DNA sequence: CTGAAAGCGCTTACAG
DNA sequence: CTGAAAGCGCTTACAG
């Protein structure tokens, strides 16, 4: 049953039914009620595809994507982009168009965000790396009623916002359980934060807090040390690390970012043994050591799917009014040598 | 650019373009080549949604689903069904209709399969529980050129077939790694097969073989015993089990089906300690013991997604000719207390 | 062998 | 306040 059937039952024209369906002005209370009653009775729902077929010819849905430029250390960002590309392929027939804006730092982020707000996009996907700038963008988007989805990281912002990302605190707890299973109560634990030029990332902090919470919740207390290591400088062994390296018992190492692959090399060089490593992200370097069993577990954030889901979710909201796809807790996927997922 | 634009460029009518696009007869070689050339040059692709809009009004796409009836022990089968329902909701606007056929045993499977073949469905989703009957159905479907997807289990059949399921052999290897990490080289390992009235399931065999292969590939040899336990009889402790129960060292227990929740109860009753358990499926009973930390890991087969993907894949094949979605290796998801996925 | 028309379910711009 | 017509991209049945 379509709009035509409703119109017939209600003794009105299809134009009037359309007006009622979209709450457009110019319908008398009386006919509106009559039409609504029949819509309810018949359980009519609008055919999104027919709707888009018509609307796409009039005006495309434009989505702006504002994410980090993918290069050198930031190779990771190729993955959400692939997911975005996949979504575009599926949605282009429905009149969806995506423009990519790539930022390098907080300044380029701010400028591109402003540009996006000025041109009128129907929706925005971005990443909340810079708290202040993200808040500004969110406010502006809210004012213009442009739906906005943040991927990758959750941040407390000044207004409610949509997030498609993994719960990093929970992921830290998962990592703790995995490491604890291997290392036990007699071991020593090390949280390794690799700092890049932007300092420590919100995700990493949340992962560490989750890691520590896992142990706090249990009776047995184990020593957990945090090592902050700047990736910008040449690697040097500090006094703290020496003590760690010399401990002969089981050592559990939790690397809070995607660089866990750096540790096996260091451990080899300094003859550190009896280590178990849990890290994040299924990248080439990490996989290499996972396959060699130098890294025990990796946690996968499904970056490709995050990008895909953001675009699809925004489309579902714009075309069907479905708000539920705008907030997704990406599952915490545990990866071992035998269940490496396809990434590319 | 649509069919209309192509027609204009080729100086033909849109009817002729349509004929070329679908390889329909009644087009001269000459015009066909002319049209094909322009299609290629412009990179034209058909708009699936516009196509379905028209076709759905003429004839629905009918998909038959032949799966086990979900009741008592077979509660599991509610989950694929939920995924199927989700897919139907998404596709009904595009003129897709699904009929469910629920079998109880090989006999009802056979009868319903024949019924499906007689009525003319456009596609079939089923489960290869019964080797002989599955082969018969596959042959008949092939003869009538009806695409068929098997979910849940892979079986070697007489012709190539489509499977959406988890690689059970690999899943067994993953289970072995998880258990080995907890139990180590000094422990004893037990593979528990719970047999129901249908005997042992292909999935369970494959899981066991994967489990054993993991250890075979490594240097250290550990004792692995297989316990076949019939779920139909009252539980009794055999001599074999007594020895197992009395071993005081670390014990790794791999349950090859969804019933791992039965073990913690038995272990409690017979004072069996120092056990680690890995099982399959995120059901209520298993979750209860996962949360109590009596079960250490569960492997999730994403049954809901299997059902969803089967319907979507068949639609993509029928509507767009995309064959790639008909064969899917469901990721081997490792579940611990802290990353329990949503199932319902 | 080819074209013109009708229509899928929806939306809009125009007429009244 | 309401209706009739045109058209999105595609497919089919009919006419020639």
pLDDT of chain A, 344 residues: tens digit per residue:
899 999 999 999 999 999 999 988 888 888 999 999 999 999 999 999 999 999 999 999 999 999 999 876 668 899 999 999 999 999 999 999 999 999 999 999 999 999 999 998 999 999 999 999 999 999 999 999 999 999 999 999 999 999 999 999 999 999 999 999 999 999 999 999 988 766 668 899 999 999 999 999 997 789 999 998 877 777 777 888 888 898 989 999 999 999 999 999 999 999 999 999 999 999 999 999 999 999 999 999 999 999 999 999 999 999 999 999 999 999 999 999 999 998 76
Interatomic separation, CA of residue A227 and C1' of nucleotide C6, rounded (Å) = 73
A172 with A292, same domain: the answer is yes
B189 with B130, same domain: the answer is no
Is B94 in Cβ contact with A337 (below 8 Å)? no
B64-110 pLDDT, tens digit per residue, is 999 999 876 668 899 999 999 999 999 999 999 999 999 999 999 99
Closest CA to B286 of B272, B297, B270, B273: B297
* The three-state (H, E, C) secondary structure of chain B, written as one string: CCHHHHHHHHCCCHHHHHHHHCCCCCCCHHHHHHHHHHHHHHCCCCCHHHHHHHHHHHCCEEEEEEEECCCHHHHHHHHHHHHHHHHHHHHHHHCEEEEEEEECCHHHHHHHHHHHHHCCCCEEEECCCCHHHHHHHHHHHHHCCCCEEEECCCCCCCCCCEEEECCHHHHHHHHHHHHHHHHCCCCEEEEEEEEECCECCHHHHHHHHHHHHHHHCCCCCCCEEEEEEECCCCCCCCHHHHHHHHCCCCEEEEECCCCCCHHHHHHHHCCCCCEEEEEECCCHHHHHHHHCCCCCEEEECCHHHHHHHHHHHHHHHHHHCCCHHHCEECCCEEECHHHCCCCC
- CATH code at B8? 1.10.260.40
Enter the pTM of the model: 0.94
A92 with A112, same domain: the answer is yes
How far off is chain B from A122, nearest CA to CA, in Å? 22
Domain assignment present for residue B339? The answer is no
How far off is chain B from A143, nearest CA to CA, in Å? 32
Q: Which domain holds residue B93?
A: 60-165+303-330
The answer to whether the CB of B64 falls within 8 A of the CB of B88 is no
Helix, strand, or coil here: A151? strand
* Protein residue nearest nucleotide C10, by CA to C1': A51
Q: Who among A45, A181, A341 is closest to B182 (CB)? A: A181
A172 with A142, same domain: the answer is no
B258-271 pLDDT, tens digit per residue, is 999 999 999 999 99
A28 with A82, same domain: the answer is no
pLDDT of residue B73: 62
Instruction: Locate the chain B residue with the closest alpha carbon to A90.
Output: B48
Q: CA-to-CA distance for B88 and B125, rounded, in angstroms?
A: 13
Residue A271: DSSP 8-state: T
Is A339 in Cβ contact with B334 (below 8 Å)? yes
B239 with B295, same domain: the answer is yes
Q: Who among A170, A333, A339 is closest to B170 (CB)? A: A339
pLDDT of residue A240: 80
Interatomic separation, CA of residue B58 and C1' of nucleotide D3, rounded (Å) = 28
Instruction: Locate the chain B residue with the closest alpha carbon to A333.
Output: B333
Q: Which residues touch strand D (CB under 7 A)?
A: A 11-16, 19, 25-32, 50, 53-54, 56-57; B 2-4, 14-15, 18-19, 21-22, 46-47, 50-51, 53-55, 58
Domain assignment present for residue B53? The answer is no
B309 with B288, same domain: the answer is no
Q: What percent of chain B has pLDDT over 70?
A: 97
How far off is chain B from A236, nearest CA to CA, in Å? 32
* Protein residue nearest nucleotide D7, by CA to C1': A54
Residue B145: pLDDT over 90? yes
Domain assignment present for residue B16? The answer is yes
Phi, psi of B162, rounded to the nearest 5 degrees: -95, 135
CA dihedral A67→A72→A74→A75, nearest 10 degrees, is: 90
Using a CB-CB distance cutoff of 8 angstroms, which residues of chain A are in contact with residue B174? 336, 338-339
Based on its alpha-carbon atoms, the radius of gyration of chain B, rounded to whole angstroms, reads: 25
Using a CB-CB distance cutoff of 8 angstroms, which residues of chain B are in contact with residue A52? 49
- Could you tell me the two tokens for A305? 């799917």
* Positions in chain C where some atom is under 7 Å from a protein CB: 1-5, 7-14
Is A177 in Cβ contact with B338 (below 8 Å)? yes
pLDDT of residue A47: 96
A288 with A320, same domain: the answer is no
- CATH code at B200? 3.40.50.2300
pLDDT of residue B72: 67
User: What distances in angstroms separate CA B204 from CA A101, A234, B226, one per listed residue?
Assistant: 49, 51, 12
Domain assignment present for residue B140? The answer is yes
Closest CA to B278 of B317, B230, B333: B333
State the CB neighbour count (10 A cutoff) for residue B323: 12
pLDDT of residue A344: 65
- The residues near A61 (Cβ < 8 Å, ≥ 6 apart) are A94, A95, A96, A97, A122, A123, A315, A318, A319
pLDDT of residue B74: 65
A204 with A282, same domain: the answer is yes
- The residues near B171 (Cβ < 8 Å, ≥ 6 apart) are A339, B207, B210, B280, B299, B301, B332
Phi-psi map region of A271: left, alpha, beta (phi>0 left; psi -120 to 50 alpha): left
- The residues near B114 (Cβ < 8 Å, ≥ 6 apart) are none
B149 with B245, same domain: the answer is no
B272-305 pLDDT, tens digit per residue, is 999 999 999 999 999 999 999 999 999 999 999 9
CA angle, B114 then B118 then B122, to 5°: 105
A158 with A92, same domain: the answer is yes
Interatomic separation, CA of residue A16 and C1' of nucleotide D5, rounded (Å) = 14
Q: For the residues B141-165, what does the mean pLDDT come to? A: 96
A113 with A130, same domain: the answer is yes
Number of domains in chain A: 3
Domain assignment present for residue A278? The answer is yes
Residue B228: pLDDT over 80? yes
């Amino acid at each position: 049953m379509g709009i035509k059937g409703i119109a017939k039952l209600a003794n009105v024209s299809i134009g009037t039914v359309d007006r009622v369906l979209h709450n457009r002005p110019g319908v008398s209370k009386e006919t509106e009620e009559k039409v609504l009653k029949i819509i309810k009775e018949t359980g009519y729902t609008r055919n999104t595809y027919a709707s888009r077929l018509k609307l796409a010819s009039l005006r495309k849905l434009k989505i702006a994507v504002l994410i980090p430029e993918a290069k050198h250390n930031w190779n990771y960002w190729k993955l959400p982009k692939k997911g975005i590309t996949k979504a575009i392929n599926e949605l282009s027939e429905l009149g969806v168009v995506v423009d990519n804006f790539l930022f390098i730092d907080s300044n380029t982020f701010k400028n591109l965000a402003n540009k996006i707000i000025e041109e009128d996009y129907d929706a925005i996907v971005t990443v909340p790396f810079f708290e202040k700038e993200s808040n500004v963008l969110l406010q502006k988007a809210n004012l213009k009623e442009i739906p906005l989805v943040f991927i990758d990281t959750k941040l407390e912002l000044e207004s409610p916002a949509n997030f498609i990302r993994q719960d990093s605190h929970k992921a830290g707890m998962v990592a703790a359980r995995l490491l604890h299973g291997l290392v036990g109560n007699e071991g020593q634990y090390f949280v390794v934060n690799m700092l890049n030029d932007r300092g420590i990332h919100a995700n990493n902090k949340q992962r560490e807090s989750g890691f520590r919470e896992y142990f706090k919740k249990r009776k047995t207390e184990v020593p957990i040390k945090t090592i902050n290591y700047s990736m910008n400088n040449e690697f040097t062994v500090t006094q703290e690390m020496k003590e760690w390296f010399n401990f002969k018992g089981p050592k559990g190492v939790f690397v809070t970012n995607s660089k866990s692959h750096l540790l096996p090399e260091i451990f080899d060089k300094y003859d550190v043994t009896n280590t178990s490593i849990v890290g994040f992200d299924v990248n080439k370097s990490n996989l290499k050591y996972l396959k060699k069993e130098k890294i025990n577990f990796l946690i996968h954030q499904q970056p490709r799917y995050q990008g895909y889901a953001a675009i699809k979710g925004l489309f579902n909201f714009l075309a069907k009014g479905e708000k539920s796809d705008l907030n997704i807790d990406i599952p915490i996927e545990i990866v071992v040598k035998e269940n490496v997922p396809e990434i590319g």
